[in-house]
A and B are shown apart, each in its own frame.
Chain A
Amino acid sequence: MAEHAADMGATVRVAPREIHDLVYRAARIAGCDPGTAERIAENVTYAEIHHGAAVRAFCEAIEALDLPASAWATAPDALLAAEVAARTGGRASAAFDSPVPLAAIAVTLRHCLERGVAPIGIHGRDRGDLAVSAVEMRTVDQEVEGAGGALVAGTGRDAHRLGVEVDRLLFSGLEAAAAGFLVAEATLDELDLDG
């Protein structure tokens, strides 16, 4: 709550879906198609929970970049292409046109891992704003992955149970960036009246 002790300072505690919904809307307004916006939202939400600094990275991106043409939209595709190549060749790499924050690819990497392909050199302790210019990928032992998956699930549950601390100003910025997705009630009422 607004007056809750945790929310009186520089941070605000939010539910994961709030991050997801706001990032999705902001990405749409920035010109992304629904599928790409959804993927960006999933990446940022996952990265904020597991790595932190993801909302910050996204807010900086929508200020500075043409989002649909940026690596935020395209880097996951490069990763998926590398994953498919690694599944047949054992190893492959994805290089991005420009460095992309881990926040833009975190859940995509997770999905690759679930299918048996892991990134080399990217770790759970890395922050969401870590700049990544290329990712080396290799097939992995599913049993090793299983143990890691349990840890990730635990962190996710805590985030859903307790919420996620996000910088208050950044969250306000995100809300402002997403607000354009909504259409004024008065406009809709006018359309209804006009038939």
Chain B
Amino acid sequence: MTTAAAAPSQDRLQAELDRRRPRLRPPAVVMQPAMMGAARLTRYSFSRTMLRRAVQSRWLARRARFDIDDRGHGEAVYEIDASGHKLSFVAFTTTIDESEHTDRVIAERWEVAGALVEGDLTGEFLGLLRRQVPLQEAGRFDPRVLVLTRGNRSVRFFDYLVDALSAGAQPDPDLVADAGYILRSTAFYANGKYGMRSFEGYSEDHPLRVPYRAQFVCAWLFRELGYDLVEHCARAGGGDAAVPFDQRWRRYFGLGNATGLGLVPFAFKHPRVIHAWVAIREMALADVRALPGNRDRLERLDEWIDRAHSHFVHGTDHDCRPFLSSVDVASVVLRVRKAFERCRRDPLPFDALYRWSESHGPETAELVVSLLLELHDGDDRLIDELLTVDEHSPLDPASTVGRMRTLLASRFEWISRLDLDDDSADAWWWVISDNTEEPRRARRDRLDPACRDVAIDVALRLWRLRDALDGYDDDTPIHRVLSEHPEHRLAAERLALSDRAYAEPRDNACSTHYLPLLLQRFQLAMYGMDNFKPKSTDWLRVTLFQGAPRLSDFGVDARDDWVLPARPGSSR
């Protein structure tokens, strides 16, 4: 994502923000951990923009091969003609014992291993994929391979769904409960990992030259495979009695995902990327808040509020702390509906609704943001451009200590409220495990980092830089400080790079009190994931593409109103 061509789009993003400045939410609100940890998928989440852009660009998609046996073991190939670029999702499927199922990224065997590739799928290439893809991180790839992924069947529901369809029945809504997926993935590797193509290796006009576009094409086809596997196994077991999913169910299931600590370092390492994600959402929110309430808009928001209620009320009341359970979110939606009744005659009803929500806590505020954004009609081509940012911004060695002090005060004044001199502020360090390179945390008093720390201690480093600068005159050039104190180089460079309003999560990842789930949820929401189900302080399960168009819907029924589907035929 570091390209010279990205610089103009970055300037464009800044211009778009400047145009809306009086109506934008301030970073002090948006980048607070609690607010980030309440984020929800929106119209501009990557899963949705990918599908909209694919439809707008008239991509063609088909299942090209399905050599799968009765147990669901074999190979499948899905092809996409993406504006003349031939993409294939190649999947290798098997079954493993239930005891080997794990959500951890470190598992060694998977029921589905797949790759998104570009180019002709020759016999030679397919043979290589057949041998390398199931190896996952231990495999070796070349730039024809764009994304590597893997996952397992849902232990609870895959066999149930097969049994139901093979007996000629549709799933019982009450037995499916809150299951939103058939297959659950755990990783989507791309961007040069294991020899795959780098993001910068896509040509300027390549349809996948948008951050995360390739991963979401891959995830969407992964979800399609889940449906195909269930229906195939049902046919194999039930013969003529078997039925496919009916219209009520054929889009209901998404793709599950289990996510651990790997997201956290990304968010702390890419300030301009995070800024772009947040800025696009905030621009759209500012636009909607400025809209007067005509009948069409008011009715559309009514519909989205109803839709959200129907979706969440059919979920469970399982403990999802620190987040709300699905049923609790449904209660919030009811309060939003009442508040909107009071706001709808306001000259700016959407602004009034947002202002009401802000005083009712982050979950309410961010739910309202996600609903309001459904009224926005932005230019997806522009949004794609704005997401591609230039992360290249070397520190000018002639910058003075005085200038650095000024930047610290203007860009990082918030660190002074994090109690960074307290022992608890530096209690944890971030580490990479030797097992599939999974990021984890370790307590400093239990294990010495010994130069193995992942340097995402942004707030601590900036705080220490501030102290170090005390020993220098304002006129001293920064290169002199850094040649004497190289340990502050990273902080000084971050200070130069972090030149955007929404660049920094205002938190300290090394604190005793740090809760990774908040930043994880923010990123997952930006991706387009929902149904946040924490399993500890460090990892959670989510669902994506629930309700989304299927392969056969492409170009036929590809409206962008598929999120928050209601559970079919629920008794509640």
Contacts and interface: CB of A to CB of B under 8 A. Distances in A.
Interface string A137-157: 000000000000100010011
A12 to B, nearest CB: 8
Contacts of A161: 143, 197-198, 201-203
Interface in A42-78: 68, 73-74, 77-78
A111 B394 contact: yes
B281 interface: no
Given A33-B487, A183-B434, A191-B443, A4 B128 contact: yes
A87 B131 CA distance: 56
Contacts of B338: none
Contact of A18 (B106, B195, B453): B195
A56 B438 CA distance: 28
A34 interface: yes
Contacts of B483: 74, 77-78, 80-81
A84 interface: yes
Given A17-B198, A73-B486, A157-B200, A1 B139 contact: yes
B196 to A, nearest CB: 7
A158 to B, nearest CB: 8
B397 A81 contact: yes
B446 interface: yes
A120 interface: no
B442 A13 contact: no
Given A157-B201, A163-B143, 5 more contacts: A1-B140, A15-B143, A15-B198, A33-B486, A35-B488
27 contacts: A1-B132, A1-B139, A1-B140, A1-B145, A3-B128, A6-B142, A14-B195, A15-B143, A15-B195, A16-B192, A17-B192, A29-B451, A33-B490, A34-B453, A35-B482, A35-B486, A77-B483, A80-B483, A87-B398, A157-B201, A179-B434, A180-B452, A182-B432, A183-B452, A184-B433, A185-B435, A191-B446
Contacts of A74: 483
Interface of A: 1-4, 6-7, 12-18, 28-29, 31-36, 38-39, 68, 73-74, 77-78, 80-81, 83-84, 87, 111, 114-115, 149, 153, 156-157, 160-163, 179-185, 187-188, 191, 194
A188 B441 CA distance: 8
Interface in B528-548: none
A80 B479 contact: yes
Interface of B: 4, 106, 128, 131-132, 139-143, 145, 191-203, 394, 396-398, 431-435, 437-438, 440, 442-443, 446-447, 451-453, 455, 477, 479-480, 482-483, 486-493
B398 A2 contact: no
A14 B477 CA distance: 38
B434 A18 contact: no
A80 B446 contact: no
B4 A153 contact: yes
Given A14-B195, A81-B479, A34 B455 contact: yes
Given A35-B487, A161-B197, A179-B434, A188 B440 contact: yes
A54 to B, nearest CB: 17
B539 to A, nearest CB: 12
A29 B452 contact: yes
Contact of B142 (A4, A18, A31, A73): A4
B132 A184 contact: no
B431 A183 contact: yes
A139 B442 CA distance: 48
Nearest to B435: A185
A77 B477 CA distance: 12
Contacts of A157: 200-201
A124 to B, nearest CB: 18
A191 B140 contact: no
Nearest to B433: A185
B486 A183 contact: no
A163 B196 CA distance: 8
Q: Lowest 9 A-B CB distances belong to which pairs?
A: A35-B489, A15-B192, A35-B490, A34-B455, A161-B201, A160-B201, A185-B435, A160-B198, A17-B192
A160 B432 contact: no
Contacts of B491: 35
Given A161-B197, A181-B432, A35 B131 contact: no
Nearest to B106: A185
Given A81-B480, A188-B442, A1 B198 contact: no
Contacts of A73: 486
Given A115-B396, A181-B432, A182-B433, A84 B479 contact: yes
